[in-house]
C-alpha cells in the first residue's frame, strides 16, 4: 500500500485556519480593530457595507509598518508579540496568534496601505484568495488601512451560510461595542453603507457607555470598585429596576479583553438575588484586572473564553463587591441587627400565593344593646321581618352558640365565581373554572381538558398580530398627548428596519432625532404606561439570535408582542373571560402548540380518571 499522508498546500491550510479565526464578518472586524489598538492608534475608523459581506475597512493612525513588516504580516505564524511559548502567559496585547491577516487574506480580497511616521511614502499590498496580486509604493497617511472585500468569495459553502445583512450587521455592532467600551481613551468612528452610526470621542468609561447606549443610560448606572491582591474590579452595574428580559447589556472585560464567563455571570446574578423581576437579567459593565500569569486566554481561537487559577475566590469577591455597591447607593436593603429575622420572607416564597383570611361575621351583634334590653325584649322570632326580632335572649340558650348558620365567610372579591351556578350558563358554553390562577379546567366528551391560560392567550394574540401585519388592516388608538422615547443608535436602527411592521401592528411613530422617536398611536391592547417596556422587548427580540433561526420579521414582532400582552400566571379571569379564551383558542389555526413551541393544553380521559380510583 502506498503512502497516503501528505502536506496540505499553503492555500488549503490557510483556508482551514480561516475557519477557526473567521466565523463571520464580525470576526474580521474584531481582528482588525484589535490590531489597530495594538498599533497604539488614537483614532480608528470602521467602515462596512452590506453587513460586512461586501466591505470591511479599518483605518487607524497607529505606528504603521515598514515594507518588510507589511509583507511579513500576511504570512502564517508571523507576529511581533511573542517569541516563545512562555510569552503566552504574559500577554498584554490583543491579537497574537499570527494567523489573523493570513487567514483573512486566504478567503477574501484584501488591500493594505500602511506607512510609518519616519517614512515619506508607504506600501500598498493587494492579495486575492491568498495570492499576492501587487505590492507597490503609494502616498498614504501615517498608520494603516486594511480593506477586506467579498468575504468567502472562494468558499461558496461558507458564504451561503452567512445570515441576512441585518443579522451580520448586528453582530458587527456588538463587536464594535465590546472594543469601544474596553478602550474609552481611543476615538472611534463607525460608518455603515455610507451613514455614520457612531462618533465616539475619547472620554472616560461612563461617558463612553452613555454615548453608545443613549443618554437614558446615565441614570441607570451604579459604580462598583474593589481592589484586592487577587483582582482589581472596576465598572458599573445597572439598577435592578432597569433589568431587561434579554442578555444584551452584559460585558465582562479581563485585562481590557472582552470575555464570556457563565461562572462570573452567576456571581452577578447572586448579588442581585431578590431584587430582579421574574425572567429579567441584570446589566453590567465590569472590568477585572488580574495577573496575566493567573489566567489562560488561549483556550479558544476567538479568545472570548478564559480560565482562572482561583475562580472561587474571584466569585466571592465579585459578588461581595456588587452587593456592597447596591447597598451603598440605597438600592439593596442594608443589614438591620435589631430586626426580627422571623418576619423576613424567604426568596423562595416570593412566588407563592397567600391564602385569603377567613372572616366570621355575627349578624346578631348589636353594639347598642345591653343585657337588660335583651331580657325585656324576650326571645327572637326567627324568619320575621320585624325590627324587634334582631335581639336574642342568650340566657338558657348556650347550645345556640354553636349554630354557625348565621355566620358567613368573606372571600377574595373576584368577578365571576368559579363554582356558583349561573342562570343560563349553557348559553355561554361548557362550564370552566380556573385552577391555581394558571390553568383553565373544562370538560370534553372523552374526559377533562386542562389549558395553560398564558400559552393559550399567546397563541390567540400571535395569530391576530400576524394577520394584522400580513393584511395590513389594523386599528390604532390615538394618544391625546404623544409620547417621546429615547433609544440608543443601534436600537433606533432596529426601529427603522421594522417601522413598516410596527405601523401595521397599530403603532404611529415618527423619528425626531438620531436617538429619539415620538409615538402618537398605539395598538388597542397596549397600555400607554407599558409602552416603553413593550418597545424594549420588541427591539430586543428582533435583535436576538431568533432572527438567524429562519423566522421572518413579522413572526418575530408578533411573538414579542404576544409575549408582552398575554395574561400571566396569577391573573384572575372571570367566567366570561375564561369562556372567551377557550373558544378563541380552538378557533386558531394551531391550538395545540404555543408560538414558542410549548404545549398549550392536555386531556385526561375518563379511563385515566377511573384508574386513579382503583
What's the pLDDT tens digit per position in 183-204? 999 999 999 998 888 999 999 9
- The region of weakest confidence among 23-37, 280-294, 310-324, 423-437 is 423-437
Distance CA 104, CA 24 (A): 11
Residue 462 corresponds to which cell in the numbers above? 400571535
Domain covering 10-202, topology: Heat Shock Protein 90 (3.30.565)
Closest Cα to residue 444, out of 432, 455, 456, 458?
432
Closest Cα to residue 238, out of 227, 248, 228, 253?
248
Domain covering 425-614, topology: Ribosomal Protein S8; Chain: A, domain 1 (3.30.1370)
Whether the per-residue pLDDT at 343 is higher than 80: the answer is no
Q: What is the pLDDT of residue 351?
A: 54
> So what CATH class is 207-328?
alpha beta
Average pLDDT for residues 272-301, to the nearest whole number? 81
Which tens digits make up the pLDDT trace of 463-485? 988 888 877 667 788 888 899 98
Q: What is the pLDDT of residue 135?
A: 93
Residue 263 corresponds to which cell in the numbers above? 461562572
Q: What is the pLDDT of residue 333?
A: 54
Residue pair 55/148 in contact by the 8 Å Cβ criterion = yes
Average pLDDT for residues 63-72, to the nearest whole number? 90
Beta-carbon contacts of residue 347 (< 8 Å; ≥ 6 apart): 273, 274
Q: Where are the domains of the chain?
A: 10-202, 207-328, 371-406, 425-614
Residue pair 510/520 in contact by the 8 Å Cβ criterion = yes
| Ranges 97-111, 115-129, 297-311, most confident | 115-129
Q: What is the pLDDT of residue 139?
A: 93
Place of cell 501587487: 134
Residue 182 region, left (φ>0) first, then alpha (ψ -120 to 50), else beta? Answer: alpha
Q: pLDDT band at 552, cuts 50/70/90?
A: confident
| Ranges 147-151, 155-159, 558-562, most confident | 147-151
C-alpha 415, offset from chain centre: 36
Q: Work out whether strand 232-238 and strand 284-289 pair parallel, antiparallel, or are unpaired.
A: antiparallel
Which tens digits make up the pLDDT trace of 502-539? 888 889 999 988 888 999 999 888 888 888 888 888 88
Q: What is the pLDDT of residue 154?
A: 86
Grouping H, G, I as helix, E, B as strand and the rest as coil, residue 540 is helix
Closest Cα to residue 318, out of 251, 358, 376, 270?
270
Looking at every residue in the chain, the average pLDDT score rounds to 80
Amino acid at each position: 500500500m502506498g503512502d497516503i499522508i501528505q502536506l496540505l498546500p499553503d492555500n488549503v491550510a490557510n483556508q482551514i485556519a480561516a475557519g477557526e479565526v473567521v466565523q463571520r464578518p464580525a470576526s474580521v472586524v474584531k481582528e482588525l480593530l484589535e490590531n489597530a489598538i495594538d498599533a497604539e492608534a488614537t483614532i480608528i475608523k470602521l467602515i462596512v457595507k452590506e453587513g460586512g459581506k461586501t466591505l470591511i475597512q479599518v483605518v487607524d493612525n497607529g505606528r504603521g509598518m515598514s515594507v518588510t513588516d507589511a509583507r511579513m504580516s500576511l504570512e502564517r505564524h508571523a507576529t511581533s508579540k511573542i517569541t516563545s511559548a512562555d510569552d503566552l502567559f504574559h500577554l498584554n496585547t490583543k491579537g497574537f496568534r499570527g494567523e489573523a491577516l493570513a487567514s483573512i487574506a486566504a478567503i477574501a480580497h484584501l488591500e493594505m496601505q500602511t506607512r510609518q511616521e519616519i517614512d515619506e511614502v508607504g506600501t500598498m499590498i493587494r492579495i486575492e484568495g491568498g495570492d499576492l496580486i501587487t505590492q507597490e509604493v503609494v502616498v498614504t497617511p501615517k498608520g494603516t488601512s486594511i480593506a477586506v472585500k467579498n468575504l468567502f468569495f472562494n468558499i461558496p459553502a461558507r458564504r451561503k451560510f452567512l445570515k441576512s445583512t441585518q443579522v451580520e450587521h448586528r453582530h458587527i455592532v456588538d463587536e464594535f461595542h465590546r472594543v469601544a467600551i474596553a478602550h474609552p481613551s481611543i476615538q472611534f468612528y463607525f460608518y455603515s453603507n455610507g451613514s455614520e452610526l457612531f462618533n465616539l470621542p475619547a472620554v472616560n468609561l461612563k461617558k463612553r457607555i452613555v454615548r453608545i447606549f443613549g443618554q437614558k443610560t446615565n441614570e441607570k448606572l451604579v459604580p462598583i470598585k474593589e481592589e484586592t491582591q487577587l483582582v482589581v474590579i472596576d465598572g458599573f452595574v445597572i439598577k435592578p429596576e432597569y433589568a431587561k428580559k434579554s442578555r444584551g447589556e452584559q460585558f465582562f472585560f479581563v485585562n481590557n479583553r472582552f470575555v464570556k464567563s457563565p461562572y462570573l455571570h452567576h456571581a452577578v446574578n447572586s448579588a442581585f438575588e431578590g431584587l430582579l423581576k421574574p425572567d429579567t437579567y441584570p446589566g453590567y459593565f465590569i472590568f477585572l484586572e488580574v495577573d496575566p500569569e493567573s489566567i489562560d486566554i488561549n483556550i479558544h481561537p476567538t479568545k472570548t473564553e478564559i480560565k482562572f487559577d482561583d475562580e472561587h475566590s474571584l466569585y466571592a469577591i465579585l459578588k461581595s463587591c456588587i452587593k456592597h455597591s447596591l447597598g451603598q447607593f440605597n438600592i439593596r436593603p442594608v443589614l438591620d441587627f435589631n430586626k426580627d429575622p422571623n418576619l423576613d420572607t424567604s426568596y423562595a416564597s416570593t412566588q407563592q400565593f397567600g391564602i385569603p383570611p377567613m372572616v366570621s361575621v355575627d349578624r346578631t351583634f348589636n353594639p347598642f344593646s345591653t343585657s337588660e334590653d335583651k331580657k325585656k325584649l324576650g326571645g327572637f322570632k326567627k324568619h320575621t321581618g320585624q325590627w324587634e326580632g334582631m335581639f336574642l335572649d342568650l340566657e338558657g340558650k348556650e347550645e345556640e352558640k354553636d349554630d354557625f348558620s348565621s355566620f358567613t365567610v368573606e372571600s377574595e372579591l373576584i368577578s365571576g365565581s368559579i363554582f356558583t351556578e349561573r342562570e343560563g350558563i349553557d348559553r355561554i358554553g361548557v362550564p370552566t373554572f380556573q385552577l391555581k390562577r394558571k390553568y383553565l379546567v373544562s370538560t370534553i366528551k372523552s374526559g377533562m381538558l386542562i389549558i395553560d391560560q398564558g400559552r393559550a392567550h399567546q397563541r390567540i394574540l400571535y395569530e391576530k398580530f400576524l394577520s394584522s401585519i400580513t393584511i395590513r388592516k389594523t386599528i390604532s388608538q390615538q394618544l391625546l398627548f404623544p409620547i417621546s422615547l429615547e433609544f440608543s443608535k443601534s436600537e433606533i436602527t432596529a426601529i427603522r428596519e421594522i417601522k413598516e411592521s410596527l405601523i401595521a401592528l397599530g403603532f404611529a411613530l415618527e423619528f425626531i432625532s438620531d436617538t429619539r422617536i415620538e409615538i402618537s398611536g398605539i395598538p388597542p391592547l397596549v397600555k400607554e404606561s407599558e409602552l416603553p417596556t413593550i418597545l424594549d422587548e420588541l427591539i430586543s427580540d428582533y435583535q436576538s439570535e431568533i432572527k438567524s433561526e429562519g423566522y421572518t420579521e413579522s413572526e418575530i414582532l408578533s411573538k414579542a408582542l404576544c409575549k408582552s400582552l398575554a395574561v400571566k400566571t396569577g391573573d384572575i379571569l372571570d367566567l366570561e373571560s375564561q369562556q372567551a379564551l377557550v373558544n378563541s383558542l380552538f378557533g386558531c389555526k394551531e391550538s395545540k402548540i404555543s408560538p414558542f413551541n410549548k404545549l398549550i393544553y392536555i386531556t385526561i380521559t375518563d379511563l385515566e380518571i377511573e384508574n386513579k380510583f382503583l
